[in-house]
Each structure stands twice: as C-alpha cells, then as structure tokens.
Amino acid sequence: MEPDVVRLGSRGATAEVAPAVGARLMKWNVAGRPVLHWPSTPDWSDPAHIRGGNPVLFPFIARTFLDGEKGRWKGPDGKIRPAPMHGLVRTAPFAVEAHGENLIRMRIASDGAMAASFPFPFVFTVEYALEDNVLAVAFGVENTGREPLPFSVGNHFYFEVLSGERGQWSLECPCRRWARQEKDGRIATAPPPAGGGALDDPALVDLFHVGPPRDGVVLRHRADGRSIRFDFPPDAAGRNPWFAVTTWTERASSDFYCVEPWTALPDAVHNGQGLRWLKPGARETLRLRLTAAGW
C-alpha cells in the first residue's frame, strides 16, 4: 500500500515526502525537472530497497562488523547487539511535527524494539525546506537517556543521472583522503580516483571522499551546465560535521547515481572515524544545503 505523501512547493520547486516510511524524501523537482531519481513503480512492500529519493541513515551508517561478522556491534557496556544495515529509522514511521507550504519537520522517538539494537534513548527529527532552487536539510538529535549517546547520520541521495549520460557528470569534491570498506569491515586507504571525478569511473563506486570542504562540493553536468552544490554549515563547535561524501551506484545500467554526505564512515561505533557523542539531555542539529542550478 502506498503511504500518505506530503507535498511541498516554493516558486518553481516541488518536493514529495513520505513521513510514515522513514521520513523519506521521494522527489525534488526544479523547474519541472527531476533533481532526484524516483522509480515509476516503487515497491512499497520493501521500502528499504526502493532506489530513489533520500533514505535517512541513523544511528548506524552502512555496514557494521564485529570480528569480521557483518551486522553486529559491541557497545560501551561490552554487550553485543545487532547493527542493522543503515540503522534503525530508514523505514520507520515518523510523526509530522510541523508542516507549511515549503517545509516539513518529522519526529521519531526510540522505542523498545530499537533498544534491542541501540540501548540509548533518543529523539530524532528530519526537516526539509524548499527555498526556490535550494533544498535545506536539518537533522536533530536529542539524547533523552542518562548515558552519552554515540551516533552517525547519513544521507543517501539518489540523483537523476541517466546511465547513458554518466560520463558527462562529474563530482568536484576536493578532500583530504579516500577510503573503502574491506569485506571484513576494516576501513582501508584508497588511491585518489584517476578519472577526474567523472561518474562513469568505476573507482568512484563505494568510495569514501573523506574530509570534504565545508564551502562546497559540486555535482556538475559537463555538457548542459546543470549543477548541484552541497554546502555544509558548521556545527555548534564551528566544525564541518560532514566527515565524508560517499559515491555509489548499483549497476552500469542504473539511471541514478548517489552522492551521500555522512557524518562518519561505516563501522564508526568500532573504528571511531567521525563517530559523534552527545551528552545526556543535550541536543544538536546538523544541517546541509543543496542548490540546483541550470534547471
């Protein structure tokens, strides 16, 4: 069954969101043209595998490993628990906390089922706002428990990049280093991609661009000039909270390409790379802005 959809609009831009399915941003169009990819016949019986929009990843990102075994983690208390792929909320039901013509903010609180994997009480909010050709994103994390809360937050933007045009798109993402996750979960250093950021370079698939500049990462169509600029506002400490940008697509024939700002690398609960900690009673908001030009 298809979920209820909330529609947003601002001048020439529109968006559609499914709060009850992971606060899923489904569509973002500018000047009537899709910026994000969304399949024509999504399978809502298996929303985790719908290739489109922006699934939200929290409090784990991607794959977590313990002693080489995927899907487990050891907490600060020494207990071993399951660690679901991409976290706990990407298909969970959010409540709408605020809704206007161009804005929606959605909220979820941890429950007993989540505690079996993640024994840290939290409230998590997702906000999307349209400002003409800008999509503003805000993730709020509140620690409602008595212990420090470890977490990661990630985006999984599926951009409308036709397979036949992939070589015309490039990612301009100067960073400090590159990395990959090995089959046993270890994070390994990777060489810089040799293709100049072109999305038809196989080396970009499952690549972590670590240390992106806070003042701009750009996805650009080299032929027609369209671009999507990512800006990363600082956190409360004045630092860029977005530890890495990950690039991925499913296969050579896929008509989408993912550019994913993450606050941490996979398995951060063990390797610590980008893992954030929140004190009891504290709350923080992590923001990013996407600007679509040339649409």
User: Which residue range(s) make up the domain with 287?
Assistant: 6-293
Q: How many domains is the chain partitioned into structurally?
A: 1
Paired residues of 261 in beta bridges: 245
pLDDT band per the 50, 70, 90 thresholds, residue 91: very high
Supply the CATH number for residue 219's domain.
2.70.98.10
Higher pLDDT, 195 or 262: 262
Mean pLDDT of the chain: 97
- 15 in a domain, yes or no? yes
Model confidence, pTM: 0.97
Query: What is the pLDDT confidence band of residue 146, given thresholds at 50, 70 and 90?
Result: very high
Of the candidates 258, 287, 283, the residue with the CA atom closest to the CA atom of residue 144 = 283
Q: Is 28 inside a domain boundary?
A: yes
The model's confidence at residue 206, banded by pLDDT at 50, 70 and 90, is very high
Q: Which of 247, 26, 262, 250 is nearest to 135 (CA)?
A: 26
Alpha carbons 115 and 136: distance in angstroms, whole number: 30
Residue 243 resides in a domain = yes
Per-residue confidence band for 141, with pLDDT thresholds at 50, 70 and 90 = very high
pLDDT at 273 over 90: yes
- Residue 1 within any structural domain of the chain: no
SS (H, E, C) the chain: CCCCCEEEEECCEEEEEECCCCCEEEEEEECCEECECCCCCCCCCCHHHCCCCECEEECCCCCCEECCEECEEECCCCCEEECCCCECCCCCCCEEEEECCCEEEEEEECCHHHHCCCCCCEEEEEEEEEECCEEEEEEEEEECCCCCEEECCEECEEECCCHHHHHHEEEECCCCEEEEECCCCCEEEECCCCCCCECCCHHHCCEEEECCCCCCEEEEECCCCCEEEEECCCCCCCCCCCCEEEEECCCCCCCCEEEEEECCCCCHHHHCCCCEEECCCCEEEEEEEEEEECC
**Size of the chain in residues:** 295
At residue 216, does pLDDT exceed 90?
A: no
Q: Are 160 and 169 in contact (CB under 8 A)?
A: no
Confidence of residue 245 (pLDDT cuts 50, 70, 90): very high
Using one digit for the tens of pLDDT, what is the confidence trace for 226-238? Answer: 999 999 999 999 9
Q: pLDDT tens digit string along 27-86?
A: 999 999 999 999 999 999 999 999 999 999 999 999 999 999 999 999 999 999 999 999
Q: Is the pLDDT of residue 124 over 90?
A: yes
What is the pLDDT, as a whole number, of residue 9?
A: 97
Judge whether 19 lies within some domain. Answer: yes
Residue 109 covered by a domain: yes
| Average confidence (pLDDT) over 253-258 | 98
Q: What mean pLDDT comes out for the span 140-163?
A: 98
| pLDDT computed for residue 159 by the predictor | 98
Q: Which two tokens stand for residue 174?
A: 């100067």
Model confidence at 215: pLDDT above 90: no
pLDDT, mean of residues 228-250: 97
pLDDT tens column, 15-41: 999 999 999 999 999 999 999 999 999
Least confident segment among 6-10, 87-91, 147-151, 210-214: 210-214
pLDDT at 195: 85
